[in-house]
């Protein structure tokens, strides 16, 4: 496979499609829709809803190019045995993980709120990773899957930029993967947090990874 090039920041990013994967982080109803866990924390979920079109465009382009796509969902077992007190009992949310809300028990596996929003739903053959933590490598089979597929490069989209997206990128960077974040296909509940995270990722010659727009990513694929 010929090496492709993206006009990225802080500099050109090279990759091969057959050694790449797109990871779409936590585009779930509990974070995106009203009545979910994100809103229970007092957040404006409409901020996250605004990236649905660009995430959809990115997924479609990768599907057309035949590139591996992975979706993640943050969720816990019904008995919450994989949700430590240090995670559940913090702050003063309207509802806590495991409590019953309009879309079932918040962030509990099998409940409606855990599902990826319909506009971005996985298709048959696309891997879905259920993760109990912020990072997608923690207590999951993600690393083994990537190794089996001979993946070297990871593209990232999803929410939230400074929490689950950044955590997974840093985990991937430590494991030797080349990482690129689609700037307009990720979002935070807080403007400053998104921009600061992007600045940290790009700093010092891509210390964590590269960033680019969806249009520039797809232009490299000619889709």
Tell me the catalytic residues.
26, 131, 164
Tell me how far apart the alpha carbons of residues 38 and 10 are, in angstroms, rounded to a whole number.
31
Among residues 4, 56, 9, the alpha carbon closest in space to that of 201 is found at: 9
Contact predicate 22/68, CB 8 Å: yes
Among residues 56, 60, 78, 71, the alpha carbon closest in space to that of 25 is found at: 71
Q: What is the 3-state secondary structure (H, E, C) of the chain?
A: CCCEEECCECCCEEECHHHEEEEEECCEHHHHCCCCHHHHCCCCCHHHHCCHHHHHHHHHHHHHHCCEEEEEEECECCCCCCCCHHHHCCCCCCCCCCCEECCEECCECCCHHHCECHHHCCCCCCEEEEECCCCCCCCCCHHHHHHHCCCCEEEEEEECHHHHHHHHHHHHHHCCCEEEEEEEEEECCCHHHHHHHHHHHHHHHHCCCEEECHHHHHHHHCC
């Amino acid at each position: 496979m010929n090496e492709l090039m993206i006009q990225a920041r802080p500099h050109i990013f090279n990759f091969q499609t057959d050694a790449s994967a797109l990871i779409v982080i936590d585009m779930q109803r509990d974070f995106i829709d009203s009545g979910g866990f994100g809103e229970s924390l007092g957040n404006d979920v409409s901020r996250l809803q605004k990236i649905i079109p660009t995430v959809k465009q990115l997924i479609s382009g990768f599907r057309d190019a035949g590139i591996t796509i992975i979706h993640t969902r943050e969720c816990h077992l019904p008995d919450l045995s994989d949700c430590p007190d240090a995670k559940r009992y913090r702050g003063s949310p309207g509802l806590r993980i495991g409590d019953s809300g309009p879309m079932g028990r918040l962030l509990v596996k099998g409940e409606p709120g855990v599902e990826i929003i319909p506009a971005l739903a996985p298709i048959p053959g696309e891997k879905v990773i259920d993760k109990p933590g912020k990072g997608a490598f923690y207590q999951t089979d993600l690393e083994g899957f990537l190794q089996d597929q001979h993946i070297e490069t990871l593209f990232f989209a999803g929410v939230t930029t400074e929490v689950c997206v950044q955590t997974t990128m840093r985990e991937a960077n430590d494991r030797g993967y080349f990482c690129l974040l689609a700037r307009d296909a990720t979002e935070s509940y807080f403007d400053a947090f998104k921009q600061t995270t992007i600045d940290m990722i790009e700093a010092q010659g891509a210390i964590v990874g590269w960033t680019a727009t969806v249009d520039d990513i797809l232009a490299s694929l000619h889709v």
